[in-house]
Amino acid sequence: MEPLSRFLEAPRRSFFLFGPRGTGKSTWLRQALPDALVLDLLQPDLARDLIARPERLRDIASGSPRRTIVLDEVQRVPEVLNVVHSLIESKEKRRFVLTGSSARKLRRGGVDLLGGRAVVRTLHPFMAAELGAFDLTAALQRGLVPLVVAAERPDDVLRAYASVYLDEEVRMEGWARNAGAFTRFLEAVSFSHGAVLNVANVARECQVERKTVAAYIEVLEDLLLSFRVPVFTRRAKRETIAHPKLFIFDAGVFRSLRPRGPLDRPEEIDGAALEGLVAQHLRAWIAYRQADAELFYWRTRSGVEVDFVIYGAAGFWAIEVKNTDRIRPEDLRGLAAFGEDYPQAELILLYRGARRERRDRTWILPMERFLESLHPARKLPAHAFAS
């Protein structure tokens, strides 16, 4: 598979680049910064050398004529961050690119010591518009992690993805000493994908203490394997719930974790995968626009809900996701209630049909077309409502 152009733009100053394994950080760096000096900290010899003597980085930088230096998987050797800080401040004005698939060790190792001198960027799974051709059905089954999309046998790579994280990240870092309990947790938490997170319920399902499950969820988020979407409460006119929704970062990875059996309805899993696919697209769209909006959802105490709310300088939208090709009047009730409380919001319902409609204030848009049109260089109304 030929490398595809990504929407992420490289800052001119030093920056951290985070992203889950397999999202193409190294490939993107080769394309965006072809002249950079790349130091791969997954190489054992280099990692051992810098752990023993972090100041060795200064010698390496001095010996290179290249202004930009990439430290790939920098969380392996967080001790070098003090030296990086010093070199950024030096007269040589080096630019450092610090990549990682985990933020936990960096936080402990002193990311804050850089004092805002390095901005943060995140690389996400593919967006539909980054692909030459987008297949919604395939995206729901296998997700959009570049490592999986580019594989000759994507199903095999997807099945191995979670276990690779378990073996190479969780065990190596000693974050979850009981691998069996963590594996049970991964299966149990997959049922919370796209749902309100109830830590006590997850703990009961995987037979692990509640505080342990809370710690495991932090591990997932530190590994960038999951994210939470908070409730939208700004100027609320109705009483809303307090708990966030949880999403696995990619629809295909969610499917690989989600157990299936005779009692599991395929449409239930498909609906959760579809909502997650939209979530990961909206999250990437916001990230690549450099944080001029935030992602929320809305749910009242009485159970009225809207799947996603985007709010910020970029605009104000309420988005409902339906895994159906026909829209019934009751499918619009959550958006209608939100529109009553927030008349400033644009209302969008995404569905599996092919026709574009408008009912009262709500735009009803084909899912595939919407995702293909979602581009960080454009605001939603400029393209989502185009014929």
75-81 mean pLDDT:
86
pLDDT band at 194; cut points 50, 70, 90: very high
**Position 382 pLDDT exceeds 50:** no
- Sorted by where each begins, the domain ranges of the chain are 15-122, 128-384
Q: What pLDDT, on a 0 to 100 scale, did the predictor assign at position 2?
A: 62
319-336 mean pLDDT:
96
Q: What is the mean pLDDT of the chain?
A: 88
Q: What pLDDT, on a 0 to 100 scale, did the predictor assign at position 113?
A: 47
CATH topology of domain 15-122: Rossmann fold (3.40.50)
386 or 46: which leads in pLDDT: 46
Q: What pLDDT, on a 0 to 100 scale, did the predictor assign at position 206?
A: 87
75 or 374: which leads in pLDDT: 374
List the single range of 66-70, 104-108, 126-130, 189-193 with lowest mean pLDDT: 104-108
H, E, C per residue of the chain: CCCCCCCCCCCCCCEEEECCCCCCHHHHHHHHCCCCEEEECCCHHHHHHHHHCCCHHHHHHHCCCCCEEEEECHHHCHHHHHHHHHHHHCCCCCEEEEEECCCHHHHHHCHHHHCCCCEEEECCCCCHHHCCCCCHHHHHHHCCCHHHHCCCCHHHHHHHHHHHHHHHHHHHHCCCCCHHHHHHHHHHHHCCECEECCHHHHHHHHCCCHHHHHHHHHHHHHCCCEEEECECCCCCCCCECCCCEEEECCHHHHHHHCCCCCCCCHHHHHHHHHHHHHHHHHHHHHHHCCCCCEEEEEEECCCCEEEEEEEECCEEEEEEECCCCCCCHHHHHHHHHHHHHCCCCEEEEEECCCCCEEECCEEEEEHHHHHHHCCCCCCHHHHHCCC
171-189 mean pLDDT:
73
pLDDT band at 104; cut points 50, 70, 90: low
Q: Residue 86 is which amino acid? A: S
Q: What is the distance between the alpha carbons of residues 383 and 373, in angstroms, rounded to a whole number? A: 7
The pTM score is 0.92
235-247 mean pLDDT:
90
pLDDT band at 14; cut points 50, 70, 90: very high
